[in-house]
A and B are shown apart, each in its own frame.
Chain A
Amino acid sequence: MNERELDWATWMRAAEAGDTRAYRRLLDELSVFLRRVVRRRGGFGVDDAEVEDVVQEALLAIHLKRGTWDPAQPVGPWVATIARNKLTDALRRRGRRIAVPIEDVEEMLAAPQEEDGLSAHETDRLLSVLKGRQHDVVRSISLEGADIRATATKLGMTEGAVRVALHRGLSALSVAYRSFRE
């Protein structure tokens, strides 16, 4: 296990104990790692928004399936396997759209490596699939950047209800990704 993975494992355990900041740091680092993996394995002809779709889908899977991580196991191979499985699905789904013009290769080499402002297509569409409270809560906490308490106040819900709606909303997003595939 290298140093980075030791960090990841530490943050993962901290997150399990309820440390939101550690978890956020972990997800930030994982998204950079995933983006690199998806760009490399996805080949050329996959544009940035599509890369970001796969990154977000993989992040959601990592989040929802984090109970499958065994603390005795290194985090790297666990993350990489989830990413590979999601990437395989995503490429199959987009199979026909992938072409490899040489201009794209050159463009990608020159592409700026901005890591934060990247936006995905599908999640916007998927967010609109969510209904009622789940939609309001996920939207408030993601796009509007509110925390649980502020969201609860704004929507006139208890914090517990916000947590439940958030968790169900994220699960529903993941299911929506999957059903887009079929």
Chain B
Amino acid sequence: MRTSDLIAAMAADAGTPPARLGRTFALALALAVVGAALVFAVKLGPRPDVVDALGTVRFPFKFAVTGAFAAAAALLALRLARPGASPRGGALAFLAAVALLGAGVLAELSATPGATWAPRLVGHNWLVCLINVPVLSAIPLAALLIALRRGAPASPRLAGAVAGVLAGAIGATFYAAHCPDDSPLFVAVWYTLAVAIVATAGAVAGSRLLRW
């Protein structure tokens, strides 16, 4: 087939305009939040002392961390899916989220006696955390991967992994309202591990679903 013939076919197809990636992604993000919220409402619900907890430092800090990771991953995922867009801003935002979590860990280490570190790190509910964060993240991950199929990432695996971090951070944000463990030490270990599980699932799924 001559290239000019193929161009004729594509020009004739111009009447079917494509959905914009940014718009599709924003819609998927909204669906992801709603989906996680529904599962949260049905399965977990907030912890009993949630109102009092809001007055503390550590409980709101969990949302700052998960929110920062979600925002960074959203920015990065969109950039990775868009050919020619620089992922630099997203990568920097990601480092900022890591730094925020690191600062929280350092503050916790300096504010609390060494003997309490181990119980703070182990917490009450690490297994529940490792199970529930991925459960809450399942709908978000599916929605985000479907949206990213409209994208054209240079590395489908990496884009899938970042989508997994985003889904995991959304799941973790809801889980944080249920979880009784507020120490940054707990968050740094178990939340990170739980999100890493979702990111791995995203990478595996992405390497198949996001090829183009």
Which A residues contact B (CB, under 8 angstroms)?
15-16, 18-21, 23-24, 27-28, 31, 52, 55-56, 59-61, 63-68, 70, 73-74, 77-82, 85, 116-120, 123-124, 127, 138, 141-143, 145, 147-148, 163-164, 166-167, 169-170, 174, 178
Query: Known contacts A67-B20, A82-B83; is A27 also within 8 Å of B152 by CB?
Result: no
Would you give 11 A-B contacts (Cβ < 8 Å), ordered by A? A15-B14, A63-B10, A67-B21, A70-B82, A70-B85, A73-B82, A81-B84, A147-B12, A163-B16, A166-B13, A170-B10
Asked if residues B16 and A167 are in contact (CB atoms below 8 Å), the reply is yes
CB contact between A70 and one of B6, B9, B22, B211 (< 8 Å): that residue: B22
CB contact between B19 and one of A67, A81, A119 (< 8 Å): that residue: A67
B42 part of interface (Cβ distance < 8 Å): no
Residues of B within 8 A of A67 (CB): 18-21, 24, 150
Residues of A within 8 A of B20 (CB): 67
Given A118-B2, A143-B5, A164-B16, 17 other A-B contacts at CB below 8 A?
A: A16-B17, A19-B14, A24-B11, A65-B83, A67-B18, A67-B21, A68-B152, A73-B84, A77-B84, A81-B83, A85-B154, A120-B3, A124-B1, A141-B8, A163-B15, A170-B10, A178-B212
CB contact between A68 and one of B1, B9, B21 (< 8 Å): that residue: B21
In the bound assembly, the distance between CA atoms of A79 and B83 in angstroms comes to 8
Which B residues contact A (CB, under 8 angstroms)?
1-22, 24, 81-85, 150-152, 154, 211-212
Query: Known contacts A65-B212, A85-B152; is A60 also within 8 Å of B6 by CB?
Result: yes
Query: Known contacts A118-B3, A145-B5; is A163 also within 8 Å of B13 by CB?
Result: yes
Asked if residues A120 and B1 are in contact (CB atoms below 8 Å), the reply is yes
CB contact between B4 and one of A116, A138, A163 (< 8 Å): that residue: A116
